[in-house]
Amino acid sequence: MTPADIRAEVLDILESIAPDEDLSNLDDEVSFREQLEMDSMDFLDIVMELRKRHRVQIPEEDYAQLASMSSTVQYLAPLMKDL
């Protein structure tokens, strides 16, 4: 997957987790929590959905690297390059 594909996939997951949020103005450099009304369970839903859809394992100590769209795409790119 390309970085653009990964971004689109994360957006799709965000839309399913937070359907009432307007993601059209999402700033890739600002943390999801600052922009969206997400709690820790919503964040875990993102991690679980990535595992379910793509078998991507994200260790708990790496969760901080998924804070924003930019950092999430950067973190996932090497893990999802062959998908």
* Residues 3, 65 contacting (CB under 8 angstroms): no
- DSSP three-state, residue 31: strand
* Residues 6, 76 contacting (CB under 8 angstroms): yes
Q: What pLDDT score does 82 carry?
A: 87
- pTM of structure: 0.91
The number of distinct structural domains making up the chain is 1
Q: What is the CATH number of the domain that holds 46?
A: 1.10.1200.10
Identity of the residue numbered 18: A
Q: Which pLDDT band, with edges at 50, 70 and 90, does 78 fall under?
A: very high
**Boundaries of domain holding 72:** 3-80
Q: What pLDDT score does 37 carry?
A: 87
Q: What is the pLDDT of residues 32-53, one digit of tens each?
A: 989 998 888 999 999 999 999 9
Contacts of 31-40 with C-beta under 8 Å, sequence gap 24+, read: 31/67, 31/68, 32/67, 32/68, 32/69, 33/67
What is the chain's mean pLDDT, rounded?
94
